[in-house]
Chain A
């Protein structure tokens, strides 16, 4: 692969533009409503964070390359062509102040899927060499080490040994013919290893045939967040190879939202073929086990709980009812935040923002939106289903001096499982 250059970036943008993109740019009436849907604007009131404005470079390319007047203007030298400097100027808008949360896409009155286009713009930005260092490094680690956080197999094996001892369960590894291949996110391995123990216990009780793989255990895909499709495809291909080799029926995405997006929705499109196995999110599987009567609880959670929908799981991923079914099974007092489910507000850390140190202050600033939501309901604990959301929510709560425990839905279910 040749190094980044403006030309590569420009060509990537040209290639990314499709009929939906053209329909979206043609339709924007500059009404500004998308701004009010984006937490980066609502919490700063700075107009530059208006979602559609973040797309200026892509819009320029569309106009110059794919519209009659744009082409004419360019030929006559009337319009200023896109420059490398434009891309450089937009880098922080495209990466630091967008979590790809998709909320703007739900609100635009003409129906623009702005998030869809920001994802496309990132392809050009990365190809032109204008991506944040934190994300570039994470992506390099993902390719060379197999995990964006640099987690190697021995680290996972150590966590597994620990889990097996602590919970008296077996964590199957590389089992051919298992029904499910379970993926993890590095964050779960390093920060929340209880997740591994939780699924091991749940699957044991529910008699689910599953396995981990020593060759492909990482589900997150920084190639997507940074916008480098060939790397993203390579990371997906590793999972596909293992899933086919082990002949599993389905692959389980971990709680992590972007991992789910990567393997469930982007995966087949990145590698260019349909999967011959299914991809399910862990919450989808748990809800399925619930309806089959295979999840037996010993007691209910007494605390008043709410649920934070990770954007890529709910709004962008379609797993909205399942966590609610599970929570209603688990707790008597489950309440919704205002604007929830597909309209939930992002925690502020998705889309690679949390791997981008430059965005740290802004990320914590935008947490005020989550705080405002939480302030209206007065709960004892927040449940979520994404390790990335979880880390950031914990940080945000601390920053805003809010004492609220943060629970993983999967782990909470494991804690309340009925004994045999």
Chain B
């Protein structure tokens, strides 16, 4: 397989397969959760479960002051790499073209040198997060293979993206091909690992806020 053929393969059949696995996997995960159901609350409500759930879905992105004091590093590094990921994934012009081809939707992007700088910052934040995970006694105890795997497959596309952007080492088609392949790895693992928190956390926050809101507490 030549470099160009490899690129064609990752952009074609491999991409379709990865997309299919990701979507099917997510549907399975959602069903696994929803089908378990939840008993109706028979106690008389004091507040609104709906308003509480809705509020917590958004409000949980802003931590309470005490948490900022006690878990500052986790919060700041977490913010940086999440926002960084968002920027490099959704605001890089070549990526927007891919989304446009798939969905027909388009939006303005950022200049590529800004994306490149964000990418570097995000990688540094992720490295810091990894070191923190290994060194912090609580995180080390909680962490399993899954957590490190998730870290790795999140970091890889950033790294391959950086290499492709700066044309380091290999041919351009090969570099881009490897970058896309690393994204496909992420997509395939997405539904089956902690990565799926990007979707399930909205449900978790919803339930948390609804349970509290029903009792008249804003959680």
Residue of B nearest to A41 (CB): B138
Assembled-state Cα–Cα distance A301/B142 (Å): 49
A315 engages B217 (CB within 8 Å): yes
Residue of B nearest to A20 (CB): B207
Assembled-state Cα–Cα distance A42/B66 (Å): 12
Contact count band on A: 35 or more
Contact count band on B: 35 or more
B67 engages A33 (CB within 8 Å): yes
A32 engages B37 (CB within 8 Å): no
CB contact between A23 and one of B61, B137, B140, B207 (< 8 Å): that residue: B207
Per-residue contact bits, chain B 142-153, to A (CB 8 Å; 1 contact, 0 not): 111001000000
Scan residues 304-344 of chain A and give those whose CB is less than 8 A from a CB of chain B.
Answer: 314-318, 320, 339, 342-343
> Is A37 an interface residue, CB under 8 A from the partner?
yes
Name the distance in Å between B107's Cβ and chain A's nearest Cβ: 27
B43 engages A23 (CB within 8 Å): no
- Known A-B contacts A27-B204, A69-B192; the reply to A32 vs B142 at CB < 8 A is yes
B37 engages A19 (CB within 8 Å): yes
Name the distance in Å between B6's Cβ and chain A's nearest Cβ: 30
Write out the residue numbers on chain B whose beta carbons fall within 8 Å of the beta carbon of A42: 70
Residue of B nearest to A35 (CB): B138
| Residue in A30, A279, A317 whose Cβ sees the most chain B Cβ within 10 Å | A30
Name the distance in Å between A104's Cβ and chain B's nearest Cβ: 11
Scan residues 124-173 of chain B and give those whose CB is less than 8 A from a CB of chain A.
Answer: 133, 136-144, 147
- Known A-B contacts A18-B37, A68-B32; the reply to A32 vs B203 at CB < 8 A is no
B139 engages A106 (CB within 8 Å): no
Name the distance in Å between B219's Cβ and chain A's nearest Cβ: 6
Name the distance in Å between B43's Cβ and chain A's nearest Cβ: 5
Per-residue contact bits, chain B 184-214, to A (CB 8 Å; 1 contact, 0 not): 0000000010101100110111111101100
Assembled-state Cα–Cα distance A107/B70 (Å): 11
Which A residues are within 8 Å of any B CB, using their own CB? 17-24, 26-33, 35-37, 41-42, 45, 47-48, 50, 52-53, 66-69, 105-113, 116, 264-269, 272-275, 278-279, 314-318, 320, 339, 342-343
